């Protein structure tokens, strides 16, 4: 417990431990309220739904049959959407290919594009702290994004980009067969669940990924949490829901 509290501190949830003072803390907005769906600070979490959701992935039988090596090579050479032109590296995904926890984010940012790894920099450090809070080293989870290439100026993914890239992630999910998917951020959650429901309303409920039945828990993106630290307490609740869901799935 002491170790977990240290990890929560690393997430910036010091107030979480001070339960005696919680009554004095600001009330969390109800899911779906303006404060919940729009947040205290402007952010990608609060923007209107993208047109990139509710789009079906094309049939890619070539990708659906690939093993890890062929899949990684295919992604590294991919020119299916315009994002290939501006990338430094593709960002395939990292971690344990037999992981119980699969973390899925939005798309590479500048640092990720330069390093070829998802969730580096400050947002990556916060994600690492979130994983430690559920008892995982980063290497024990698998971490990937909806898109493998960086959108220019970190703009939101466009519908055709998501459609082109989706078979790669679908194949990763099929190969990993995770016990739980943690969708971090609005873009990841909406595209995985094929919905335009705001992230504030997707939180707090266990969803399922397509026909696989793999449970999906949505939470805020670490980059958003860095801008809106009060919502870290909500993210911790999401992590607790994911842990409980994973625990319930075990014999
Ligand atoms: S974002 Fe995905 S579909 Fe587009 S070029 Fe990169 S790997 Fe290919």
pLDDT tens digits, residue range 63-72? 999 999 999 9
Index of the ligand 1 atom closest to the CA of residue 84: 5
Q: What is the pLDDT of residues 44-55, one digit of tens each?
A: 454 444 444 444
Q: What is the pLDDT of residue 22?
A: 34
Index of the ligand 1 atom closest to the CA of residue 87: 6
Burial of 100 (0-12, 13-18, 19+ CB in 10 A): middle
Q: Out of 62, 71, 74, 80, give the residue to mutate to test ligand 1, the one with the largest number of ligand atoms within 8 Å of its CB.
A: 80
Pocket of ligand 1 (CB under 6 A): 75, 78-81, 83-84, 90, 147-149, 161, 164-165
Q: What is the pLDDT of residues 129-186, one digit of tens each?
A: 999 999 999 999 999 999 999 999 999 999 999 999 999 999 999 999 999 999 999 9
Count of CB atoms within 10 A of residue 120's CB? 21
Distance 101 CA to ligand 1 centre (A): 24
Distance 99 CA to ligand 1 centre (A): 24
59 three-state secondary structure: coil
């Amino acid at each position: 417990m002491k170790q977990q509290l240290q990890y929560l501190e690393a997430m910036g949830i010091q107030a979480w431990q001070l339960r005696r003072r919680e009554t004095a803390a600001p009330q969390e907005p109800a899911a779906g309220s303006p404060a919940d769906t729009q947040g205290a600070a402007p952010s990608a979490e609060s923007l209107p739904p993208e047109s990139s959701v509710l789009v079906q992935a094309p049939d890619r039988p070539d990708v659906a049959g690939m093993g890890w090596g062929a899949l990684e090579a295919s992604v590294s050479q991919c020119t299916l959407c315009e994002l290939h032109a501006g990338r430094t590296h593709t960002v395939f995904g990292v971690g344990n290919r037999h992981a119980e926890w699969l973390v899925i984010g939005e798309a590479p940012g500048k640092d990720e594009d330069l390093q070829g790894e998802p969730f580096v920099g400050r947002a990556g450090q916060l994600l690492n702290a979130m994983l430690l809070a559920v008892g995982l080293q980063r290497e024990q989870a698998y971490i990937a994004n909806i898109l493998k290439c960086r959108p220019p100026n970190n703009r939101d993914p466009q519908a055709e980009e998501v459609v082109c890239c989706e078979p790669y992630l679908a194949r990763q999910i099929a190969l990993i067969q995770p016990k739980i998917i943690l969708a971090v951020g609005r873009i990841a959650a909406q595209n995985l669940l094929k919905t335009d429901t705001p992230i504030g309303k997707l939180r707090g409920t266990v969803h399922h990924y397509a026909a696989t039945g793999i449970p999906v828990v949505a939470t805020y993106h670490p980059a958003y949490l860095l801008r809106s630290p009060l919502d870290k307490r909500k993210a911790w609740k999401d992590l607790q829901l994911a842990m409980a869901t994973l625990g319930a799935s075990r014999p």
